[in-house]
Amino acid sequence: MKRFLAGLILLSVVTASSTQASWLSDGKYAAEFLSIGVDARAQGMGGAYAALSDGASSLYWNPAGLAHLNSHHLTLMHAEQFEGIVGYDYLGYGRPGKDQSGWGFGLIRLGVDNIPVTALEDPSQPLGADNRVIVDYMTTDTEMALLAGYGRQYSSKFAYGASVKVIGKWVADNSAYGLGFDLGVKYKPWKHFAFGAVLQDVTTTALIWDTGHKEAIAPTFKLGSAYQVDIPSLIARLTLAADVDFRFTDRGEADQFQFGAITADTHVGLEYLIDISGTKLALRGGSEPSREQQEHGFFGNYTFGAGILFSALQIDYAFLAHPELGDTHRVSLNLLWGKRSKKNG
């Protein structure tokens, strides 16, 4: 495990430090919609999920989590970002495979409707009292990613996985496409502790526009840890989690920390799960990176969430507060059926 993790870290550094092809520009926010996250449980915990992912949302958080699928798993999520201006959705499906493995498919969509495009009443004349700015027409912004992934349990303590994503963006009359790859591992050396590592956009994802412009999405290296402990006297379980995202590009004030050419963001989260006659109730809290670090503190924006879990159904809600862009509400639905058969491991 130590050698594999060291190799993953080395691969991330070598990949990011390599000189990009001259035809690529640094797309710091080229696929920013992919940094939002999926699954209301994960979002209620501040996005600290690299070491915890084990369902259909593992396609996004850590493909190694697909190895832990014990049944068919369908995840649906809808979010209204920034007081309803932006719609954000996720559909994911995963199922167990042979020899302690799992695979799945997913779709992420972000959409902004009714974007006004302005122009002068008479474009041939300068701006003035008799030549004002008007709304010329309305357009939309649609961004999507199709995901496919595979994970496998190497031993009782170690799992690995990989995923591929096809990215598409449509803004007004222009479009862009890209192809990216992610690698992930999960390691549970002790009963209560788990660790996860994910390298996103391993080879640097190129987003190519129909105008000929090309953007590079630099790799992101995620390290996560989680601690889970049962509390028998309360019929409950407590989970604490923390992630650090290392990016190999400078996004200015959007980053919490900067170490030369590398920047870092932190995520922390907790979950208190109580079992009431077979029905589980969860309360969650956490924080995710703030885009105004100097004004709103080290821990960023706070998140809160709740969930109710039945044997084959899980409903989760997450609330993300933003001091300037408004609040975000997310709801996800998880359906499980068809337990893993013994012949499939």
Boundaries of domain holding 215: 2-10+46-122+130-344
pLDDT, mean of residues 182-208: 94
Determine, yes or no, domain membership for 35.
Answer: no
231 is a domain residue:
yes
Reply yes or no on whether the pLDDT at 223 is more than 60. yes
| DSSP structural state of residue 128 | B
307, pLDDT greater than 70:
yes
DSSP string of 146-175, one letter each residue: EEEEEEEE-SSSEEEEEEEEEEEEEETTEE
Answer yes or no: is 39 within a domain.
no
Q: What is the mean pLDDT of residues 128-136?
A: 79
List, in sequence order, the alpha helices (H) in the chain.
2-17, 40-44, 58-61, 293-296
Spatial contact of 329 and 80, defined as CB atoms under 8 Å apart: yes
Sign of CA dihedral 276, 76, 285, 67: positive
pLDDT in tens, 83-92: 677 889 999 9
Asked if the model's pLDDT at residue 230 lies above 90, the reply is yes
Per the domain annotation, does 36 fall within a domain?
no
Whether 15 is covered by a domain: the verdict is: no
Q: Which amino acid is at 229?
A: V
For residue 89, what is the domain's CATH number?
Answer: 2.40.160.60
pTM over 0.95: no
Does residue 238 contact residue 270 with C-beta atoms inside 8 Å?
Answer: yes
Q: Hey, what are 214's tokens?
A: 């090309």
| Within a domain: 176 | yes
Give the Cα separation of 128 and 252 in Å (integer).
37
Exposed, middle or buried: residue 322 (CB in 10 Å: 0-12, 13-18, 19+)?
Answer: middle
Number of domains in the chain: 1
Distance CA 105, CA 92 (A): 6
